[in-house]
Amino acid sequence: MASISSGHGWIEGAYFRDILDQPAALRRNLATPAPGGLAEFAAAWRASDKPFVILTGMGSSFHALHPIAIRLSESGVRAIMLETSELIYYWAGLLQPETVLIVVSQSGRSAEIVRLLELIGERSHLIAVTNDVDSPLARAADTLCLIEAGRESTVSCKTYVSSLLALDRIANILCSGGAVGFSSSSAAIADQVESYLSDLREHVDEARELLGDVLHMVLAGRGPSLASAGTGGLIIKEAARFPAEGMSAAAFRHGPLEMVNPHLFLLLFEGDSRCAEMHRRLAADVASLGGKARLVSEHQQSGLSRLARTSESLRPILEILPVQMITLALAAREGREAGAFLHASKITSID
């Protein structure tokens, strides 16, 4: 049952409770044994010519694939990200016997996933990342990685961060040939999320003040932070019913810069040293043109947008937290319960 948060004015519904459950979900994920057979598969894979890898999913499950796609590419693996809807209708020719599929689906039973399973048959090695052990995806998997996020009511939050953590473990195993599971940064991530959420009310109040007259939002980054930009734009529309777009920071300069006005807010994920200075310049340029911009990184003074230090591939777990605070703030501004669906459903059954 939803309730009004005393003294703060937002409605604490199921989505709010799922946000608070994220540290526990991550700890369950960390306690889960490594996927059976993955280390052996990785060792054999690294000892031979590496196969072609397709990484696929829909919505936040698709965006969560950015960090592992980069990790695989950096280790010399040919990898491509494709939305499952595009894969099944336009790119199915890539589904060859040597293809390895990494499929992320929280439910494991959405319309696109079911159609994909019909297409691949026995032709590809399938690594499945899902929250449902009884789903069609889990049953079809050659290698099953359960994210153990627990039941999630509506908007992806704890399933998203748990998928990111599971994919980081898979990347560690595949890129090392089977020798590594969770990294040293993984052990601290649940505590870091819990520490950030301990100041949730202050973060939401800061977001409400920051977004007072904002009418449109853009979220941008590069590299692994494209996961945060894409998922962030999605959940702001989904949880707060507010116009928001996720894109690369470079793409923002190629046209959308013309949208800058006093009612536009740009949330920039600063990322690592390769692109951080470019992002700082973009934030300054948006401010000089009369818009609003805020950087998200471990270097910020603001509690809302200040992150703990972690690895590059796990940073999106922390980057999505300020976005979740923004969804609560925007919904409260309109007197609505964040994450309460009107038209959508948790599992998309029509493709």
DSSP-derived secondary structure for 38-56: HHHHHHHHHTSPPPPEEEE
- Total domains present in the chain: 2
Structure tokens at 310: 């972690």
My answer on whether 159 and 302 are in the same domain is no
My answer on whether 128 and 262 are in the same domain is no
pLDDT value at position 340? 77
Residues ≥6 apart with Cβ < 8 Å to 177: 42, 43, 45, 46, 47
My answer on whether 65 and 31 are in the same domain is yes
My answer on whether 54 and 135 are in the same domain is yes
My answer on whether 145 and 263 are in the same domain is no
Is 347 a residue whose pLDDT tops 70? no
pLDDT value at position 6? 43
Q: Which of 11-25, 35-49, 99-113, 188-202 has the lowest mean pLDDT?
A: 35-49
pLDDT value at position 1? 46
Task: Provide mean pLDDT across the span 246-250.
Answer: 96
**Position 14 in a domain:** no
**Position 190 in a domain:** no
**Position 58 in a domain:** yes
pLDDT 10s digits, 255-308: 899 999 999 999 999 999 899 999 999 999 999 999 999 999 999 988 999 999
**Position 338 in a domain:** no
Chain centroid to Cα 31, Å, comes to 21
Is 348 a residue whose pLDDT tops 60? no
- Structural domain harbouring 306: 199-333
My answer on whether 75 and 137 are in the same domain is yes
pLDDT 10s digits, 127-183: 999 999 999 999 999 999 999 999 998 899 999 999 999 999 999 999 887 666 677
Is 339 a residue whose pLDDT tops 90? no
Q: Between β-strands 11-12 and 3-4, what pairing exists: parallel, antiparallel or unpaired?
A: antiparallel
The pTM for the full model equals 0.93
Query: Which is more confident, 102 or 52?
Result: 102
**Position 192 in a domain:** no
My answer on whether 51 and 167 are in the same domain is yes
Q: Domain ends where: 185, 211, 242?
A: 185
My answer on whether 259 and 181 are in the same domain is no
My answer on whether 126 and 214 are in the same domain is no
Q: How far apart are CA 127 and CA 348, in angstroms?
A: 21
My answer on whether 208 and 269 are in the same domain is yes
Is 21 a residue whose pLDDT tops 60? yes
**Position 50 in a domain:** yes
The strand pairing partners of 129, in sequence order, are: 104, 145
CB 317 within 8 A of CB 296: no
My answer on whether 287 and 204 are in the same domain is yes
Q: How confident is the model at residue 8 (pLDDT cuts 50, 70, 90)?
A: low
**Position 230 in a domain:** yes
Q: What percent of the chain has pLDDT over 90?
A: 75
pLDDT 10s digits, 300-333: 988 999 999 999 999 999 999 999 999 999 999 8
Task: Provide mean pLDDT across the span 36-43.
Answer: 87
Q: Which of 4-18, 235-249, 315-329 has the lowest mean pLDDT?
A: 4-18
Q: What is the average pLDDT value for the chain, to the nearest integer? A: 90
Q: How far apart are CA 114 and CA 325, in angstroms?
A: 33
CATH number at residue 40: 3.40.50.10490
My answer on whether 135 and 243 are in the same domain is no
**Position 191 in a domain:** no
pLDDT 10s digits, 182-200: 777 898 999 999 999 999 9
pLDDT value at position 98? 84
pLDDT value at position 2? 53
